[in-house]
Amino acid sequence: MNNKYEAVIGLEVHAQLKTQTKIFCNCSIAFGSEPNTQVCAVCLGLPGALPVLNKMALNLAIKAGLALNCSIANTTKFDRKNYFYPDLPKGYQISQFDKPICYNGHLVIDDKKIRIKRAHLEEDAGKLVHAGAARLHGSQYSLVDFNRSGVPLLEIVSEPDINSAEEARKYLTELRNILRYIDVCDGNLEEGSFRCDANVSIRLKGSQDLNTRVEIKNMNSFKSVKNAIESEIERQIEVNQSAGKINQETRLYDEATGKTHVMRSKEEANDYRYFPEPDLVPNEISHAFINEIKASLPVLPVQLRQKYVNEFNLAYDDAYVITEDKQLIEFFENILDQKINPKMASNLLLGPTIAYLKENKLELNQTKLKIDHFKDLVDSLESAKISFTAAKQVLNKAIETGDSVNNIVDSLGLSQISDIDTLKKYVLELMEKYPSQLQEYRSGKTKLRGFFQGELMKATKGKANPQVLNKLLDENLN
């Protein structure tokens, strides 16, 4: 990016709440059912049908708000957001306008605070399926599936505190991790349960201006969010430098071209004519209710990260990787509970374990790895029964077969030789086998120590305990 400018970015995330049923009726929200099989008078918007707020949705929204450091409103208030679209049978969406359930929160990304303006509850719309033989521009007709109509969403709106595409990616990653961790949202991007729109403007570095912004939609992976923002920043800089004007508009990201293009301009934007939803009366949210939810919150990943760094001496990056994944967190917490050496365990977990999971596209609990493997591996390392290289081999085998560490060490013949007398025999043999090298070494060519070390490792098939070996070389070569 041209370094005269800096990007200003605010993100709007729609997170689907992990309830059983929809936000204002009892229909299931299960994904992937036959179209229009999870509908009723309420979510089809039939006249006279009355919405009733799903307490679980409220509960999850507050839980998310607390985890995002938000204040929680003291009443529920809903508003009608009016617009016409075929996937919106009522002609309005029930959302929250002036009194969002959560407000004034923040997330910390690399020591920088990104403020969260608000997080409000709303219902999802149905889904248009564009079908029929494609003509020049799109499909011949469209079908509507109302299964999604009324699915509970939490819209989380950040302040424009994000200044690069990479920071946006990190914010989204952290947000998704938190929501998944506290079991509020499954964060499944493919199924649309975590969707993001990005607002982007640019300004001269050092200025505090909030210039005209563009909203980008249609990004369905974190990578495409990053690419879309990057390409939009470039475009705005070019427009600026050619003395053009940036228009407030909504643009769509096209994955294929890697560019954004106009969807609608500000003039075409809807006037939503918000007004209070008369069918839902405000409900008081008591302190007791909030405190109950607060008490149910687990220690959050960001706090665990601090704990791992401060109390257990893990490198920040290592702590970060562990706290990005709920299963890794659970596993590592278990390691700490069982007083297994955390540094050694994290080396085993972060290196070979994660490499294996990535390569085989598995999650930790889809493997046969158990906490006992780690206990025994770390024991074997600490007692120098095996080397770290051997430990990695054992671990890979354990993940695959679930067999015990002892069995694997035996079957692969990986036991380290630590016995002084055994190793000493090897050393003396070598000294006899290479008399000239020994003499050169003794007359000052100390580099040859490496030669003896290497030969010894060869002779013992890599199983010599390096510490014992070093000591023996010190004692005998000189």
Residues within window 40-59 making contact with Zn ion, judged by CB under 5 A: 40, 42-43
- Residue 201 as a binder of ligand ADP (CB under 6 A): the answer is yes
Nearest distance from residue 470's CB to ligand ADP, in Å?
Answer: 59
Examine residue 149 and tell whether it contacts ligand ADP (CB under 6 A): no
Q: How far is the CB of 23 from Zn ion (least distance, A)?
A: 10
Burial 43-69 (b: 16+ CB within 10 A, else e): bbbeeeeebebbeebbbbbbbbbbbbb
CB of 46 to Zn ion, least distance (A): 10
Strands 283-284 and 141-145 come out as unpaired
Handedness of CA 212, 217, 219, 222 (dihedral sign): positive
Rounded to whole angstroms, how far apart are CA atoms 308 and 22? 39
To ligand ADP, the closest distance from the beta carbon of 199 in angstroms equals 3
Whether 297 contacts 179, CB under 8 Å: no
Q: Does 453 bind ligand ADP (CB under 6 A)?
A: no
Q: How far is the CB of 119 from ligand ADP (least distance, A)?
A: 12
Among 104, 139, 163, 211, binds ligand ADP (CB under 6 A): 211
**Least distance from C-beta 328 to ligand ADP, angstroms?**
31
Residue 260 contacts ligand ADP per CB under 6 A: no
- Give the type of residue at 295: A
Contact 187, 222 (CB under 8 A): no
Binding mask 6-45 for ligand ADP (x = CB under 6 A): --xxxxx---------------------------------
d(CA 372, CA 420): 29
Closest approach, Cβ 166 to ligand ADP, in A, equals 16
Tokens matching residue 457:
């490792």
Determine, following the binding rule CB under 6 A, whether residue 210 of this chain makes contact with ligand ADP: yes
Q: Which of residues 161-200 bind ligand ADP (CB under 6 A)?
A: 199-200
- Name which of ligand ADP, Zn ion, none residue 40 binds, using a CB cut-off of 5 to 8 Å depending on partner kind: Zn ion
Among the residue ranges 31-39, 42-50, 158-166, 397-405, the one whose residues contact ligand ADP (CB under 6 A): 158-166
Stretch that binds Zn ion, among 34-42, 247-255, 341-349, 390-398 (CB under 5 A): 34-42
| 160 near ligand ADP, judged by CB under 6 A | yes
Q: Are 22 and 43 within 8 A, CB to CB?
A: yes
* Nearest residue (CB) to Zn ion, 29 versus 202: 29
Contact of 324 with 187, CB cutoff 8 Å: no
DSSP string, 244-294: --PPPEEEEEETTTTEEEEEEEGGGS-----EE-TTS--EE--HHHHHHHH
Burial of 377: CB neighbours in 10 Å, binned 0-12, 13-18, 19+: buried
Where on the chain is the footprint of Zn ion (CB under 5 A)? 25, 27, 40, 42-43
Where on the chain is the footprint of ligand ADP (CB under 6 A)? 8-12, 157-160, 199-201, 210-211, 213
